[in-house]
Amino acid sequence: MRISIIGQGYVGLTISVFAGESHEVVGFDVNPSIVERLNKGISHIEGVDSLAIAKLIAKGKYKATTNPAEIKGSEIMVIAVPTPLNSERKPDLSYIDSACKVIGENLDAPALIINESTSYPGTIRNYIKPATEKYSKVKLDHEYAISPERVDPGRVEWNQKNTPRLFAGLTPEATKRTKEFYSTFCDNLVEVSSPEVAEAAKLFENTFRQVNIALVNELAQISHALGIDVRETLEAANTKPYGFMKFTPSAGVGGHCIPVDPSYLAHLASEHGVRATFIERANEVNLEMPQYIAQRVASDNGGSLKGKKVLVVGVAYKPNVADTRETPAEHLIEALNEMGAVVSWSDEVVRSWKGESSGALGGADIAIVVTKHDVVEIAAILKAAPYVFDTTGKVIGAVQL
């Protein structure tokens, strides 16, 4: 089949490479530099091998493009564009809208349109279908389905092939064709009774993590006040063989999913007159962690950070990826700057961030570890400053969160 995938980021490129094994894939993206590099066989995503892209290009199975007209003739369209929050922390569906415009204006035959972007229940039925129809030059009876993406960048043991995939169409025909498509590269397909169930399940998976991360971050604060080692407490609780799942404290949450997706659910809940109190409180706790850490470090260092050279170690939102979206390191740096510290950062994986290059791992009065990549030696972190505060639990010998 000819498949077009709108958006060639973490999700879209990953799907392109798997789908390219059995289909002819057109990867459409609005970013010309990404497209140019992809067509040279260069991946910009960890976990997507450049060689795999180059092989597909050589076989004529993959092509990236910025030209919307190249999606013509596609039997299946997959939407994999960002779904962020706007400045009021409300869902921003503008990228979805522009994807619908590309599809509506360029498809000249009925297709199956599948959304993989994360959004609130009702998005495929009440937003994507009407928007695509609005932009269509001719009336076409497209089919619509949802299959929320569960990819976890950097995780190797779970991938597109073995991670169970939820799906549902707006019609039985859409459901059937969606199943046929994903079964060409995914071993475990889970059909649910409506697109809304699949959309809600995706949001709840990430809300479950957001709330539990906040709970454990709150426990870290309580434990410190009580003089109890939070990580030992969690290990102890984790010996219970049932009814407990271990989460660990951190500088907060980052990435495209955990800080964002729960707010999509909260938004829809509030539109239906229900207040999502757990989500609101979890957001507060996680967003306050950088401030809490800055204050703890200050109180360990004579009560003030004014003029102190503070090095933030690891600015990616999680280990072994170069992704800095929504990273708690950003809020930590803001909090440290407000306290008068002279702040620098070092990250061997990110290397360049907000127009700055990664600084040296050393020469500081204080080092705060936000993310510990495997390539960074613990001994090197401990040598970076006379006082090292670790939010990850991995830098044994440092002061622990």
Q: Kindly list the catalytic residues.
A: 257
Using Cβ positions, the residue closest to ligand NAD within the complex turns out to be 9
Closest distance to ligand NAD from the beta carbon of 10 (Å) = 4
30, 205, 200, 26: which is closest to 125 by C-alpha? 200
The nearer residue to ligand NAD, 73 or 82, going by C-beta atoms, is 82
CA atoms within 13 A on the CB side of 363: 8
The nearer residue to ligand NAD, 154 or 359, going by C-beta atoms, is 154
Closest distance to ligand NAD from the beta carbon of 255 (Å) = 6
What six digits make up the tokens of 331? 């809020």
C-alpha dist (Å) from residue 251 to 169, 217, 290: 39, 8, 6
- Matching residue, tokens 């995503």: 45
The nearer residue to ligand NAD, 28 or 181, going by C-beta atoms, is 28
Cα–Cα distance for residue pair 75/5, rounded to 1 Å: 11
Closest distance to ligand NAD from the beta carbon of 378 (Å) = 27
Site residues for ligand NAD per CB under 6 A: 6-12, 28-31, 34, 80-83, 95, 98-99, 102, 117-118, 149-151, 153, 256-257
Helices 195-226 and 261-271: crossing angle in degrees, nearest 10, is 110
Q: What is the DSSP letter of 191?
A: E
Q: Which pairing describes strands 309-313 and 189-191: parallel, antiparallel, or unpaired?
A: unpaired
Closest distance to ligand NAD from the beta carbon of 317 (Å) = 10
The sign one gets for the Cα dihedral 89, 91, 96, 100 is: negative
